[in-house]
Amino acid sequence: MKSCLAAVALLFAAGAAVADTTAFVNVNVIPMTSEQVLPNVTVIVEDGSIEAIGGVADTPVPRHARVVDGTDRYLMPGLAEMHGHVPGASSDSLDRVLALFLANGVTTVRGMLGQPSHLDLRSAIANGETLGPRLFTSGPSFNGRSVDGTEQAGRMVREQAEAGYDFLKIHPGLSDEEFKAIADTANEVGIPFAGHVPADVGVPMALDAGIATIDHLDGYMEALVPADVDPSGGYGGFFGVLLAGVAEVSRIESIARSTAAAKVWNVPTEALFEHVLSPIEPEVMANWPEMQYMPAETVEQWRESKAEIRAEIARQPELAERAIALRRELIATLHEAGAGLLLGSDSPQIFNVPGFAVHHELRYLVDAGLTPYEALRTGTVNPAVYFGHAGRFGTVTEGVEADLVLLDDNPLEDIASTRRIHGVMVRGRWMDRRELDRTLERWRTHRPLPDL
């Protein structure tokens, strides 16, 4: 594995490898098995797993353990970024992205734009050679440029399944015949396919085909438009924003019920949508504190991208507001219908910095009507269930892998408390606030301009 992949592990070595046993003493535990707080308990972590949870008086602390004072703090499972983009092994930004995820309590990432080097990276993380979030990776994208016909589509599916990727990534540009060939072959060989809903396909066909997740709520705005209405000449703009004026709220419940019946999960990436279409000026967003951890040229590209997309609706600014309201209603209705939601922000992407962006996403889910507990489940319990690993991670219970975040305040009362991180543990490796601050300082690339 390229030496840069070990940079994060080396950075955290002093704080992560001192003891194989850690005791969180007198801590408030948010187990995520139900909406409750277990006050004043001790949690023993040994060899990367939670060994014991019990009352302070009843749970002895091993003599050799590292002791973390949990008084007035809250211990919850680590978060999952279910729509992240992980750089390749040769990228100069890989170790920075991994570090930013961990510094924000992200201990699992579903990589949505995979490449062969991610297979080795996945193994290196799993084996402890590289410190980073648990990685599930797609293969290279299936899209209108990479796929040329149904025969090639089927062959690509088999090749990626044999290579050992966790799932297939679907992008726009596929014909309905190509999409069907991908779906049929994927279902035959037993590999999930997930991502976008191509324009020629549409949400109903994607649901029938067995898509694992629909990301960005892609295709749903189109599904809310009556079949005999096409006001845009076939172009819906950024995830259907130009269709918001004719989309019908009354259609949301039906499509949500269909999604639940098909057992298809959604990764809304609402942070991406609302960051792009919000009335906040791009110059203001470019000076958000987390932007200092991205290259200045990247932030400038994001500023230009937002300005370009906003220009598309400059003559109809009310469309952005209505599109956001429709999407929030859709998120709430999907949840109420029992269609699973997964936490994902699409980072790094327009004004979505790795790690920091999931905290924005949690806030947007609460804004859409979920309770803080329900929002937290999308990034803890739900990803474990989705991957078939319930009982392996996603809760604070005995026997699970110790992916944990220690917070200074209770996120069940205020979802913004997920940002107030005192320390992070990834599979038993503890990183305290001082170590996290040193990490962030190392990856600071520039300082935003002061607010005017």
Domains present along the chain, CATH in parentheses: 3-77+395-442 (2.30.40.10), 79-90+107-386 (3.20.20.140)
pLDDT at position 323 is 95
Angstrom distances, CA of residue 419 to CA of 42, 103, 195, 410, 438: 23, 10, 28, 11, 17
pLDDT at 1: 45
Q: Measured between alpha carbons, how far is 128 from 397 in angstroms, rounded to an integer?
A: 22
Q: Which of 10-14, 124-128, 194-198, 279-283 has the lowest mean pLDDT?
A: 10-14
Q: Quick check: 448 pLDDT over 80?
A: no
pLDDT band at 315 (very low <50, low <70, confident <90, very high): confident
Residue type for position 55: G
> Which tens digits make up the pLDDT trace of 424-439?
999 999 999 999 999 9
**pLDDT band for position 11 (50/70/90)?**
very low
User: What average pLDDT does range 265-292 have in this prediction?
Assistant: 95
Task: Tell the burial category of 129 from Cβ atoms under 10 Å away from its Cβ (0-12, 13-18, 19+).
Answer: middle
* Average pLDDT of span 113-120: 96
Q: Which residues contact 434 (CB under 8 A, 6 or more apart)?
A: 15
Q: What pLDDT shows up at residue 317? A: 83
3-state secondary structure of 156: helix
User: How does strand 404-407 pair with strand 74-77?
Assistant: antiparallel
Confidence of residue 98 (pLDDT cuts 50, 70, 90): very high
Closest CA to 221 of 238, 243, 194, 249: 243
pLDDT at 236: 79
| Residue 237, pLDDT score | 85
Query: pTM of the predicted model, to two decimals?
Result: 0.93
* 251-272: average pLDDT: 98
Cβ proximity of 268 and 344 under 8 Å: yes
Average pLDDT of span 20-39: 97
Residue 348, preceding bond cis, omega within 30 degrees? yes
For tokens 């062969």, what's the residue?
A: 116
Query: 424 and 431 in contact (C-beta within 8 Å)?
Result: yes
Q: What is the pLDDT of residues 142-183, one digit of tens each?
A: 999 999 999 999 999 999 999 999 999 999 999 999 999 999
Distances (CA, A) of 179 to 161, 211, 267: 16, 10, 20
Amino acid identity, residue 274?
Answer: E
Note the Cα 91 to chain centre separation in Å.
Answer: 21
Residue 230 clears pLDDT 90, i.e. is over it: no
Find the mean pLDDT for residues 61-76: 97
**Would you give the distance in Å from CA 243 to the centre of its chain?**
26
Predicted confidence at residue 350, as pLDDT, reads 96
Enter the tokens of residue 30.
């948010």
In tens, the pLDDT along 33-58 reads: 999 999 999 999 999 999 999 999 99
Instruction: Tell me if 212 sits within 8 A of 196, measured CB to CB.
Output: no
pLDDT at 447: 75
Confidence of residue 446 (pLDDT cuts 50, 70, 90): confident
Q: For 415, phi and psi rounded to 5 degrees?
A: -60, -25
**Residue 90 burial by CB count (10 A; 0-12/13-18/19+): exposed, middle or buried?**
exposed
CA 301 to mean position of chain CA atoms: 22
Report the percentage of the chain scoring pLDDT > 70. 94
- Of 200-214, 217-231, 396-410, 423-437, the range with the lowest mean pLDDT is 217-231
Predicted confidence at residue 319, as pLDDT, reads 92
Mean pLDDT score across all residues of the chain: 93
What are 256's two structure tokens?
């949500």
Instruction: Please compute the mean of the pLDDT values over residues 382-401 and round it to a whole number.
Output: 97
375-399: average pLDDT = 97
pLDDT for 452 beyond 60: no
pLDDT band of residue 229 (cuts 50, 70, 90) is confident
Angle in degrees, 0-180, between the axes of helices 252-261 and 202-209, rounded to the nearest 10: 20
> Residue 6: is its pLDDT beyond 70?
no
- How many whole angstroms separate alpha carbon 448 and alpha carbon 117? 33
What single DSSP character describes residue 32? S
